[in-house]
Amino acid sequence: ALFLRVSLFRLKDLEVAELGDSDVHVKMLAAPINPADINMIQGTYALLSSLPTVGGNEGVGEVLEVGRRVAALKPGDWVIPASTGLGTWRTQGVFPEKLLLKVPSDIPMLCAATLSVNPCTAYRMLTDFETLAPGDSVIQNAANSGVGQAVIQIAKASGIKTINVVRDRPDLAKLVERLMALGADHVITEEMLRKPEMKDLFKGIPKPRLALNCVGGKSTTDMLRHLQPKGTMVTYGGMAKQPVMVPVSAFIFQDVRLRGFWITQWKKDHAQDQERLASMMDALYQLIRRGQLTAPACTEVPLQDYKAALEAAMRPFTSSKQILLF
């Protein structure tokens, strides 16, 4: 099945569209392969592209030329997609100005390329569901994912403690070390969630008011057990492809709240609220400039090796995001 999916792709030479008055001609610099990109190709995502199409929802490019009505961008500026579905796996493209967001070019290229999805998701989930103060804690599964790594760093910068759940794996010690170096307070396996030793962990850290779920299935049910009464669990992914199971007691006696989050929808809902978007982006730029938010662990791959990159992105236990370079 893996081979079949990758064989759906072709590298094609196409003419660059003509530059309209409100268009921007962009030379792509780097674009990641995210799980949502793969899901869109598989047809299992909420957004479906009409085929044939260019893959990729995220990345950073440099402006080469602008149409005569374009005021906010000029050649040399760096831009990222303002919303999903831009088709970033290409060397060049002509896009309407309103589909692009200018980013400062003094931040590292890989940070810019991976900025519009994972760090924005992490930032909103930490901000919008519970009012967290320094010393509070958050628990999350898939802590080694792109969002997970961003959650660890953004929480750390705000003085919020993180309990990070990962699947057991052969190189577990190496992964734990890497997440601790990012600022994780605790890294535990899914099996540990069920053990009585969890009580000891909560002697030194308050129980979390917020749980972030990207997995589903058993991992989620086990994570819920450790949530404070009236706490919130936010689901933003379903990597186990299993439903979220919640014990009745968690609803009745703990009064937990279950919410969902999708950054694409958030951006749609706030399309007119430019201030809110700008304040989030500024906060993220500041964290990057201060070295408090880095790009996730990345493997840089030239575009012509896209097949190998796609295959690597679909392997289990991937701890490195594949980034196409143009």
Cβ atoms of 124 and 266 closer than 8 Å: yes
Nearest C-alpha neighbor of 158 from the set 180, 131, 178, 133: 133
Cβ atoms of 70 and 23 closer than 8 Å: yes
Kind and range of the H or E element at 322?
strand 321-325
- Residue 48 has what pLDDT? 75
- Residue 301 has what pLDDT? 97
d(Cα 227, Cα 255) in Å, to the nearest integer? 10
d(Cα 42, Cα 35) in Å, to the nearest integer? 11
Cβ atoms of 325 and 303 closer than 8 Å: yes
CATH number of 117-263: 3.40.50.720
- Residue 4 has what pLDDT? 44
- Residue 5 has what pLDDT? 63
- Residue 3 has what pLDDT? 47
- Residue 316 has what pLDDT? 78
* Start and end residues for every CATH 3.40.50.720 domain found in the chain: 117-263
Kind and range of the H or E element at 101?
strand 100-103
Q: Which of 45, 123, 285, 306 does the annotation list as catalytic?
A: 45
Q: How many CB atoms lie within 10 A of CB 66?
A: 21
- Residue 42 has what pLDDT? 76
**In this predicted model, what pLDDT tens digit does every residue of 236-279 receive, in sequence order?**
999 888 999 999 999 999 999 999 999 999 999 998 998 999 99
CATH number of 1-114+295-325: 3.90.180.10
Q: What letter represents residue 33's amino acid?
A: I
**In this predicted model, what pLDDT tens digit does every residue of 153-202 receive, in sequence order?**
999 999 999 999 999 998 899 999 999 999 999 999 999 999 999 999 99
Concatenated DSSP letters of 3-65: HHHHTT------PPPP--TTEEEEEEEEEE--HHHHHHHHT-SSS-PPSS----S--EEEEEE
Helical H runs in 56-171? 109-113, 118-128, 146-157
d(Cα 270, Cα 98) in Å, to the nearest integer? 14
Pairing of strands 92-96, 23-32: antiparallel
Where on the phi/psi map is residue 194: left (φ > 0), alpha (ψ -120 to 50), or beta? Answer: alpha
pTM over 0.85: yes
- Residue 228 has what pLDDT? 97
- Residue 50 has what pLDDT? 77
The low-confidence residues of the chain, meaning pLDDT below 70, are 1-5
d(Cα 154, Cα 123) in Å, to the nearest integer? 7
* Start and end residues for every CATH 3.90.180.10 domain found in the chain: 1-114+295-325
d(Cα 94, Cα 125) in Å, to the nearest integer? 32
- Residue 132 has what pLDDT? 97
Active-site annotation holds for 123: no
- Residue 162 has what pLDDT? 98
